[in-house]
């Protein structure tokens, strides 16, 4: 695993989130309260502010620290959910060097943490509709290509779902026909990880 992986993930994540803030805002305006773009920007800027301190850590401890930062700095449901995700992933990431099995295992811990914190499962029109299929996909022969496809399909599948968790659930049937903002941000972050691991950015 490249030693500068933490830095590259951190830098690319914030760039990508900032480039999509308006899109995330618009999605959350449609079925929520419109703050998802702002929440994600605030959270990833706080991670960026950790800078060298974060980059000096190996991936597991860096993810834990980034997760704690999200929990502390981001209001809204998404901060604690993404924060729990990263903390659980980081805590489980003990292999050195990190094997593919270690990575899949820690991703599973992260997804389990979101389910527990959100008292939710896939199918409720949330970020889990991207994260769960991505977790299933990473055991494929070409895990990165499978993860990208699973993220795209999972996001698209939220369009016709009725939200049963989070703010969008207040809309009931009226949540149908819109993509879920958290599923969009998750798909974005999956793309970031794949691009960094493939050396595309």
Complex with ligand ADP: residue 79 or 143, whichever CB lies closer: 79
What is the DSSP secondary-structure string of 131-176? HHHHHHHTTSSSHHHHHHHHHHHHHHHHTTPPP-SSGGGGGGGGGT
Complex with Mg ion: residue 69 or 78, whichever CB lies closer: 78
Q: Measured between alpha carbons, how far is 153 from 23 in angstroms, rounded to an integer?
A: 18
Q: Report which residue's Cβ sits closest to ligand ADP.
A: 182
Least gap, CB of 120 to ligand ADP (angstroms): 3
* Interaction pattern, residues 5-44, with Mg ion; x per rule: CB under 5 A: -----------------------x---xx-xx--------
**27 with 180: CB under 8 angstroms?**
yes
Which residues of the chain form contacts with ligand ADP (CB under 6 A)? Answer: 28, 32-33, 35-36, 39, 76-78, 81, 114, 118-120, 126-128, 165-167, 180-183
Burial 116-134, CB ≥16 within 10 A → b, else e: ebbebebebbbbbbbbbbb
Tokens of 102: 């270690």
Complex with Mg ion: residue 32 or 60, whichever CB lies closer: 32
Complex with Mg ion: residue 4 or 33, whichever CB lies closer: 33
Binding site partner of 120, from ligand ADP, Mg ion, none, Cβ cut-off 5-8 A by kind: ligand ADP
Tokens of 68: 């704690």
Q: Which residues contribute to the site for Mg ion (CB under 5 A)? A: 28, 32-33, 35-36
């Amino acid at each position: 695993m490249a030693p500068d992986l933490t830095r590259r993930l951190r830098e690319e994540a914030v760039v990508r989130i900032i480039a999509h803030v308006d899109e995330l805002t618009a999605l959350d305006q449609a079925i929520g309260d419109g703050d998802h773009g702002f929440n994600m920007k605030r959270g990833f800027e706080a991670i960026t502010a950790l800078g060298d301190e974060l980059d000096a850590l190996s991936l597991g401890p860096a993810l834990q620290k980034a997760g704690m930062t999200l929990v502390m700095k981001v209001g809204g449901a998404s901060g604690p959910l993404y924060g729990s995700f990263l903390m659980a992933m980081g805590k489980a990431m003990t292999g050195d060097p990190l094997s593919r099995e270690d990575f899949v295992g820690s991703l599973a811990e992260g997804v389990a943490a979101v389910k527990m914190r959100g008292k939710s499962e896939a199918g409720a029109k949330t970020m889990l509709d991207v994260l769960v299929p991505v977790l299933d996909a990473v055991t494929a022969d070409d895990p990165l290509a499978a993860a990208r496809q699973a993220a795209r399909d999972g996001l698209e599948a939220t369009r016709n779902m009725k939200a049963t968790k989070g703010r969008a659930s207040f809309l009931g049937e009226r949540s149908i026909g819109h993509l879920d903002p958290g599923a969009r941000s998750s798909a974005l972050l999956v793309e970031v990880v794949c691009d960094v691991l493939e050396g595309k950015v």
